[in-house]
Chains A and B, each alone.
Chain A
Amino acid sequence: MSSLFTYTLRIADSSLILGQRMSEWCSNGPTLEEDIALSNISLDMFGQANGFYEYAAQLDGTKSADDLAFKRNEREFFNHQMVEIENGHFGNTMVRNFLHDAFNFLFYTELANSKDETLAALAAKSLKEVKYHLRHSSNWLIRLGDGTEESNLKVQDSLNEIWQFTNELFEMDEIDTELLNSGIAVDNKALKEQWNTIVNNTLSKAKLTRPEDAYMATGGKKGMHTEYLGFILAEMQFLQRAYPNAKW
């Protein structure tokens, strides 16, 4: 596996798994309008994933984008652990998405300047959608945090619980470093400061308290996952596993 292939796959995996999680909201949204909003976000994530998988397939030369999405096992997925945790209640989903959207927004802004033209183009396209996702999740975080006593408590609890998954977003391993040196990859560490600014501003508007860094989860990029990913893949991949190459 080339470094560029793995790097592209990681981006695709995070988009796919978050898209799959968001699709669970379809028909379960709190209102009709919000249900459609959540499903639209899910479809945006699938679209982004598809772009990166197509590129990864091209780099690989033997597997198709569908093979990559549906015929790999848990340990061969390299998404951030944050995107695989359960949706929980609506506020919980908005907290998770906000933390990830803020990262994605900064990440794609930088990746759009990549020396790899395909990655740069995919990033520029994704960025437009992610800007809206960030706006959507920020507004909900503010509405719920600065809402009632109950809504504030609920999203503060979610924030405390999900915080452990934030550190992984900024990690740099040997693949990141190698591709950063050749002008292709994003310096994740360097995004932290701007991420802090976005997060702190929004949390203060939402009357929420930023949790202290304590135990921080890691390993998603290396194929180490929470207990949830296996269940997601079981549901998502069932059809292609049971009826290989089935077409709509």
Chain B
Amino acid sequence: MAENATVWEVFIQSKNGLAHKHAGNVHADDKIMALENARELYTRRNEGSCIWVVKSEHITSSESEDSEAFFDPSNDKMYRHPTFYTMPEGSKHI
């Protein structure tokens, strides 16, 4: 693997039905290697039931200078939180 090997972002699903969560990243030259390296580094202690790997270059991120325009306007909009509803009994993962 060359020093400038591709970086892949790793997402682990801890249990069937739950969302995949970002765990970190690995270096790898192809997708099979990326998946195996992710397995070796991030699921050694029984953390996962499924792994996704995505080339880091395929992820588009918002920039820190945009954070004011992106996120601040939601600060004072309490009505967007569903806190005024009673949760139905027995509902999970919400």
* Partner-B contacts on A (CB < 8 A): 30-34, 36-37, 40, 135-136, 139, 143
Contact = CB atoms under 8 A, between A and B. Distances in A.
Given A30-B1, A31-B5, A37 B40 contact: yes
Given A36-B40, A40-B44, A31 B32 contact: no
Interface residues of B, number: 14
Contact of A33 (B30, B37, B44): B37
B32 A33 contact: no
A36 B39 CA distance: 10
B40 A139 contact: no
A98 B26 CA distance: 24
The secondary-structure label for the interface of chain A is: helix
Contact of B27 (A31, A40, A135, A136): A31
Nearest to A147: B29
22 contacts: A30-B1, A31-B1, A31-B5, A33-B26, A33-B27, A33-B28, A33-B37, A33-B40, A33-B41, A34-B1, A34-B37, A36-B40, A37-B36, A37-B37, A37-B40, A40-B40, A135-B36, A136-B36, A139-B32, A139-B36, A143-B29, A143-B33
B23 to A, nearest CB: 14
A143 B30 contact: yes
The secondary-structure label for the interface of chain B is: mixed
B43 to A, nearest CB: 11
Nearest to A139: B32
Q: Counting chain B CB atoms within 10 Å of each CB, which of A33, A36, A37, A136 scores highest?
A: A33
Contacts of A34: 1, 37
Contacts of B26: 33
B50 to A, nearest CB: 16
A22 to B, nearest CB: 13
A135 B37 CA distance: 13
Interface in B38-87: 40-41, 44
A185 to B, nearest CB: 33
B41 A36 contact: yes
A221 B26 CA distance: 41
A29 to B, nearest CB: 10
B6 to A, nearest CB: 12
Given A37-B37, A37-B40, 12 more contacts: A31-B1, A32-B27, A33-B37, A33-B41, A34-B1, A36-B41, A135-B36, A136-B36, A139-B32, A139-B33, A143-B30, A143-B33
Nearest to B38: A33
A34 B37 CA distance: 7
Nearest to B29: A143
Contacts of B30: 143
Q: Counting chain A CB atoms within 10 Å of each CB, which of B5, B36, B41, B44 scores highest?
A: B36
A196 B28 CA distance: 30
Contacts of A33: 26-28, 37, 40-41
A143 B37 CA distance: 15
Contacts of A139: 32-33, 36
Contacts of A30: 1
Contacts of A135: 36
